[in-house]
Amino acid sequence: MKKPTIFFSILLLAVTCTLIAQPDDTLKIKPSYFEVNDYVEDNEDCFKCHGEIKYLLEDVENDRSATKRMAPCKIVDRDKYYTSVHKSFSCTDCHSYDFMTFPHTMDLRFEENFLCMDCHGYDETYAQYHFEEIEKEFSESIHNIADFTCWSCHDPHSYKAFMRNADDLEEAILFDNNMCLRCHADYDRFAQKTEREEIVVVESHDWLPNQTAHFAKVRCIECHTEINDSILIAHKILPKTEAVQRCTECHSKDTRLLHTLYKFQSLEERKGGFVNSIMINNSYVIGANQNVWLNRLSLLVFGLTLLVIVFHTYLRIRKQKKS
């Protein structure tokens, strides 16, 4: 009876040891990556450092090594990368092949990054996205300051076209607002871009009723950009003095939300008598989602009530005159 127990114990130990001994990197590569990218193994040369919070620095000449912390801004999350719009790319499609040597040379550290327009601008393939219009809007935006590029908001290693393909609008809103809050709720990042005083988002919006509901149901850019019907997402960020503060811009039949958040869904017609019905799938905006049938019915009932009262009054006056 003892022999099989010893045998299975040894077997279990061997399996466990094999699993533990396996290098972390191979465990981190998921089969799904191969479905979208032909360069997963090549990319791993970069990810083994830039996909981790630490890396091994080796000094071959003096035969020494040390574990160093990777700067957070240099870390690329594998999962996010392989689900982003650039998921099929090899790292060296955009970065110099010389990065394959480590430590990276000083010259490489000054590598100029590609910007959106370098690949997407003035190209018929991407004409539907109107990158040229986006660039024009950005140039007029309050964000057009030194060291502020597309990358400041749109990390090419994790960017997803969320709004365009939004199944869950609330998730898309969260994704979008986090883009703003990455700097506007983190003074360390904010201070890297500007000398301005810290903005405390909650305090600067204390005039806004039901702040939590607003932050969860609409994007910052609904109020902080100028409407532009030719692009999906407006990029002309306005100075705070020009941000929308009039409630009726959204809370009215002609709500601006149809030109912003619900722009690409607003072609849908009235459903169940509700004005701007497309918004009802996600939310309900007082003033913007009146029910046409209820409005008509209430007018009819109110009118009939008044009619009966007027007629009753007339009969009373007539009776009084007779007596």
Partner 1 sequence: MANKRLYLYPVWIRLWHVINALTFLALLFTGISLHFASAEHSLIPFQVSVGIHNVCAIILSFNFGVFVIGNMFTGNGMYYRKWRKNLWPKLWKQFLFYAIGIFKGGPHPFPITKKQKFNPLQKVSYVFAMYFGMPLLIISGIALMFPEKISNSIFKISGLLFYDTLHIIVGFVLSIFLVIHLYTCTLGDKPGTLFKSMINGYHEEHE
Binding site for partner 1 (CB under 8 A): 209-210, 212-213, 216, 246-249, 251-254, 256, 280-284, 286-287, 289-291, 294, 298, 301-302, 305-306, 309, 312-313, 315-316, 319, 323
In the complex, what is the shortest distance from the CB of residue 229 to partner 1, in angstroms, rounded to a whole number? 17
In the complex, what is the shortest distance from the CB of residue 279 to partner 1, in angstroms, rounded to a whole number? 9
How many whole angstroms separate alpha carbon 199 and alpha carbon 189?
12
How far CA 147 is from CA of 125, 159, 189, in Å, comes to: 28, 19, 12
Nearer to partner 1, 68 or 253 (CB): 253
Nearer to partner 1, 68 or 296 (CB): 296
How far CA 157 is from CA of 79, 219, 293, in Å, comes to: 10, 22, 49
Residues contacting residue 194 through CB under 8 Å, at least 6 positions apart: 145
Nearer to partner 1, 91 or 257 (CB): 257
In the complex, what is the shortest distance from the CB of residue 204 to partner 1, in angstroms, rounded to a whole number? 17
Nearer to partner 1, 35 or 254 (CB): 254
In the complex, what is the shortest distance from the CB of residue 199 to partner 1, in angstroms, rounded to a whole number? 22
Tokens for 117?
Answer: 């327009």
How many whole angstroms separate alpha carbon 213 and alpha carbon 194?
30
DSSP 50: H
What residue has token string 């810290």? Answer: 198
How many whole angstroms separate alpha carbon 167 and alpha carbon 161?
12
Burial string for 264-288 (b: 16+ CB within 10 Å, else e) reads: eebeeeeeeebbbbbbbebbebeeb
Nearer to partner 1, 113 or 313 (CB): 313
Nearer to partner 1, 17 or 213 (CB): 213
What is the three-class DSSP state of 63? coil
In the complex, what is the shortest distance from the CB of residue 221 to partner 1, in angstroms, rounded to a whole number? 19
Tokens for 60?
Answer: 């071959």
In the complex, what is the shortest distance from the CB of residue 316 to partner 1, in angstroms, rounded to a whole number? 7
Q: What stretch of H or E contains 211?
A: helix 211-217
Nearer to partner 1, 183 or 250 (CB): 250
The answer to whether residues 201 and 184 touch, using CB atoms and an 8 Å cutoff, is yes
How many whole angstroms separate alpha carbon 193 and alpha carbon 316?
77
In the complex, what is the shortest distance from the CB of residue 270 to partner 1, in angstroms, rounded to a whole number? 14
Nearer to partner 1, 117 or 227 (CB): 227
How far CA 212 is from CA of 203, 208, 281, 293, in Å, comes to: 13, 9, 19, 31
In the complex, what is the shortest distance from the CB of residue 315 to partner 1, in angstroms, rounded to a whole number? 5
